[in-house]
Structure 1
C-alpha cells in the first residue's frame, strides 16, 4: 500500500491525548475531536459501503426475503403498479411510486453521507469505524424497507397515492437531510477561514440550535421510518435518536466545546437556548 494511504496513527494518538475531555466522554464519542489526520482508506471504505446500501434496499423493496416472511406467517404487500415517470432509468426499476420514494431516501442518505465523509468532515475515520457506521445505517434502512413490505407494519395500506404518511414523512425527510447537510457545510466554510481559528461557529442554521446537525439527522431518520413503517414506527425511531443525542451526543460535544472555546461557548449557549431541535429541545 502506498505510504500516503496509510493513516498517521501517531497524529491520531497525539490528538486524543490533547483532548481536554474526560476519558469517559472520549469513549462515548464516535469522533476524534481536534484530530485532522488524513484517513483516505477508511473514508473510501465508508463511501463504497454506503453506496452498496441502495442496492440492498432495492432488493428488499423488490421482494427479497418475502418467501421467508411467508413461512413464518407474515403477509406482505403486493408489488403494486410500477411507476411511470417518463424517466427510463427510474421506470426500468419496476417499483411502485411509494417504493420508489423509499429507494430515493436510501439513495439520498448514502449520497449525503458520502459527500460529508469526503468533502466536509476533517476528522479521521478508520476502516473499522467506516464499516460499523455503514452497517448501522444499512440495518436501520433495511428495517424501514421490511416494515413497509410487511402488511402488519406497512405505512401503505390504502389504495390512494400519495398517502399521509408518505407526504409528511417525505417533507420531514427532505427538511432534516437538508438541515443536517447545509449546517455542516456552513460550519465547514467558517472553519476554513484562518481568521476564525479557535472560534465556535454560531451563525446560519446554528443560530437556531447549538447542535442543529444532530437535530437534522434525528428528523430525517424518524421521517424515513415514518414513511416505511407508519406513525408509530416513525415516533419510536425518532425518539431513539433524540434520546441518544440528548443523553450522549450533546453532553459529550458540549464538554469538548466548553473546554475548547471557553467564554465564547458560554456566550453562544446564552444566545441560542435550544440544543438539538428549535422550539423543542
Structure 2
C-alpha cells in the first residue's frame, strides 16, 4: 500500500468535460458576494449602526469604528468619498457636488475610502475568477466545487470587511499615515490614509496582474496546436513553475492588509503561501509529472523555483 499523502483538490485536472452547472453556479455565487460586501461595509451618515457589518459585530459585543469613538482614530479617515472630492472647503457657502446626478455612483461615494477599496477588491476578485472559469480554464468544475470555492472566497472577503469595521483590528489604527491632497478639494488640510492601505492596494494590483497574465499566457500557449502535450515555458512561467500562486498570495495578503493593517496582511499572506506551497504545489506536481513525464523533469531543472522567483 502506498504511503504517499493525498492532497485535497477541487478541480478535476485533466478532465476536459464541460460542466455548465458548475460554471453557472460559480458565476452566480461570485456575483452574489458583491452586494453582500456592500451591505457589510455601507452605512447611513444619520445612523452609523445601520451597517450590516456593524450590527453583526455589535451583536457580539465588539466595538466598531462607527459606534465607538477613539482619540487614536482620526475622524477624517471615516469621511465619505464625496467629502474628499468636494471642491468646497468646510464652512464654504458653495454647494458640494450633486452626487445624485451620478445615479448608481451615489452609494459608492458615501463610503469611506478604505470601505470603497475593500468593496472594489471584492468586485475585482469576483471578476477575475469568473474570467478564469469562463475564458481560461478547460478543466471540469462541478457544482460542488463551485460552491466550495465561492464559500471560501466569500468567507475570507467578509472577514476582511468585519476586521476593518471592528475597532480592535481595523487598519485605520495602522501607522504610519500617508497624507495626500485631493485635486478636487480646496480644503487647507490634507487627507490621510494608513501606509499599510497603500501597500496593500499595490500588492492587490500586482498580485491580480501576475495571476491573470500568467494564466492568460498559459491558456494562449495551450490553444496553439503545435503546443499540444507540451509544458508552458513562456512569459511569467519562466520565473517560477507555479507563478500564478505567487499572484494569488500577493493579492489575498494585500486585500487583508487593507482591511486589518500590517499584521493581518502578513498573516494572511503567510497562511495562503503555506497552503499553496504545501498542498496545491504537491497536487500540481503529481498531476504534471504524470501528464508530461520527462518534460516536467526538464522544466523543474530549467525553472528551479516553485512560487517565488529567485527565492523558493
- 1:182-221 → structure 2 map (5 Å cutoff): 182-221=213-252
Other-structure match for 2:63 = 75
2:149 corresponds to 1:133 = yes
**CA displacement at 1:40 relative to structure 2:** 1.1
Distance of aligned partners of 1:40 and 1:103 in 2 relative to their CA distance in 1, 3 Å threshold = same
**Could you tell me how far apart the structure 1 residues matched to 2:299 and 2:146 are?**
32
Which aligned runs of 4 or more in structure 1 are off by greater than 4 angstroms? Answer: 21-24
Contact 1:176 1:216 in 2 (8 A): yes
**CA displacement at 1:28 relative to structure 2:** 2.1
Greater helix fraction, Structure 1 or Structure 2: 1
Other-structure match for 2:52 = 64
Other-structure match for 1:144 = 160
2:56 corresponds to 1:41 = no
**CA displacement at 1:22 relative to structure 2:** 9.8
Other-structure match for 1:120 = 136
**CA displacement at 1:96 relative to structure 2:** 1.0
Match of 1:167 among 178, 182, 198: 198
**CA displacement at 1:265 relative to structure 2:** 1.4
**Could you tell me how far apart the structure 2 residues matched to 1:165 and 1:230 are?**
6
**Could you tell me how far apart the structure 2 residues matched to 1:229 and 1:61 are?**
14
- Between 1:157-166 and 1:56-65, the stretch displaced more is 157-166
Other-structure match for 2:293 = 262
2:306 corresponds to 1:275 = yes
Contact 2:211 2:248 in 1 (8 A): yes
Contact 1:155 1:228 in 2 (8 A): yes
Aligned residue pairs total: 260
**Could you tell me how far apart the structure 1 residues matched to 2:150 and 2:240 are?**
27
Distance of aligned partners of 1:152 and 1:22 in 2 relative to their CA distance in 1, 3 Å threshold = same
Match of 1:253 among 270, 284, 291: 284
**Could you tell me how far apart the structure 2 residues matched to 1:23 and 1:251 are?**
11
1:128-154 per-residue CA deviation (whole Å, 9 max, x = no partner) reads 111111011000000000000111000
**Could you tell me how far apart the structure 2 residues matched to 1:31 and 1:53 are?**
21
Q: Which runs of 5+ in 2 are unaligned?
A: 43-50, 68-77, 86-96, 178-190
SS in 1 for 2:167: coil
**CA displacement at 1:24 relative to structure 2:** 5.3
SS in 1 for 2:169: coil
- Between 1:170-179 and 1:270-279, the stretch displaced more is 270-279
1:226-275 per-residue CA deviation (whole Å, 9 max, x = no partner) reads 11011111111111111111111101211221222122212211121210
**Could you tell me how far apart the structure 2 residues matched to 1:68 and 1:226 are?**
21
**CA displacement at 1:68 relative to structure 2:** 4.1
SS in 2 for 1:92: helix
TM-score, structure 1 normalization = 0.87
Q: CA RMSD in A?
A: 2.1
**CA displacement at 1:23 relative to structure 2:** 8.8
SS in 1 for 2:193: coil
Contact 2:170 2:259 in 1 (8 A): yes
